[in-house]
Amino acid sequence: MKNDELADRSADQDRRFARAFALIEEAIARRAFPGAALAVTRGGELLAWQGFGRFTYEADSPAVQRETIWDLASLTKPLAAASMAMRLFDDGRLQLDRPVAEILPEFAEGAAPQGEWRRAVTVRMLLEHSSGLPAHRKLYLEATGREAMLAAARAVPLETEPGARTQYSDIGFIILGELLERIAGRALGEFCRSEFFRPLTLHLHYSPQAAERASVPPTAIDTLWRHRTVQGEVNDENASAMGGVAAHAGLFGDAHSVARFAECILRGGEGIFRPETVRLFTTRSGPGGERALGWDVPTFPSQSGSRFSPRSFGHLGYTGTSLWCDPERGLSVTLLTNRTWPDATNQAIKRLRPALHDWIVSALDNV
């Protein structure tokens, strides 16, 4: 086995993770989501990899396979954007405490009332969500085309003084993506593909090809903006208006690839990233230590449950995706769903995730 591969130890997954699998099946029966895929790794071994349910709630809908590709939503932030930042940091081209306006002068131009605040925003603040930018804004209703969307994002007013508090912000990551592309001189999607997705043999990519779209579970029936079923295209409207490639959303992939990426991070970067850089980006940061750099960390109550160690890190995705990693156990848990089908009002997944993670940890700790 190569060092960058996972040893498949999933043969007895039905026995070892019987309760965890049952929780997912019960959630499907309660219509928390129509389908799901789960992957569990520990110490370089793939302990579970399984698909559940169907693409939709219809009886004749395609069954989910363990290899099924999903809209990863905000898992794009750590898997793509933060990873690009880590690589540029390793190469000495990205300085975390450098003001954003030094790289993107447009960020502070034409914003005189907030000029001092905007000039104080650093790259680190974008990564740890402490820039003062708001969580979200429907830029797709204001602008058309990638360049216009980026300009609209740069013009969004700050809500608080930079560094004062943590506020999860898609807008901040849209700006981060443009900043990283300007430093690298390369597009986000192409950079990620050539620098880590391809070397790690991961089926992670932006914008599925037309022939692949029907094999991706749909995420929504959009009756307000696109007026069609959203399948095989990014669910996030801002990312869609940017052409499907963005730093905050747009990545697609299967559970095994997400788990394989998690193993790379848990093993200290495996030659893709420097171990000290991985530790820096996955360590609590910012006001109150509520985030890491491009990653989330457990805060009570956490969607990672009650058993993951305080050093754990992970992220959630709006469509019903999640990845949590515990470096003390060498453990990763990937759960991919389309809980937004047919609309995003269903929040039942929030009850499932903590219980699922607790049962998985319990199953492994009691071996």
Q: Does pTM top 0.85 for this prediction?
A: yes
Q: Quick one: average pLDDT of 93-100?
A: 98
Tokens at residue 309, please? 């160690």
Q: Taken in order 338, 361, 21, 262, is the CA torsion positive or negative?
A: positive
pLDDT band of residue 238 (cuts 50, 70, 90) is very high
Residue-wise pLDDT for 298-342, tens only, equals: 998 999 999 999 999 999 999 999 999 999 999 999 999 999 999
Percent over 70 (pLDDT), the chain: 98
Strands (E), the chain: 7-8, 35-42, 45-53, 70-71, 204-206, 220-222, 228-230, 251-253, 313-317, 321-326, 331-337
Task: Please give the Cα distance from 316 to 298 (Å, whole number).
Answer: 11
All structural domains of the chain: 7-75+190-365 (3.40.710.10), 80-189 (3.40.710.10)
Position 362 pLDDT exceeds 50: yes
**Contact of 315 with 168, CB cutoff 8 Å:** no
Q: Pick the residue with more confidence: 279 or 367?
A: 279
Q: Quick one: average pLDDT of 156-175?
A: 97
Residue-wise pLDDT for 116-149, tens only, equals: 999 999 999 999 999 999 999 999 999 989 999 9
**Contact of 235 with 219, CB cutoff 8 Å:** yes
Position 8 pLDDT exceeds 60: yes
Residue 116 has, within 13 A of its CA and on its CB side, a CA count of 3
State residue 1's pLDDT score. 38
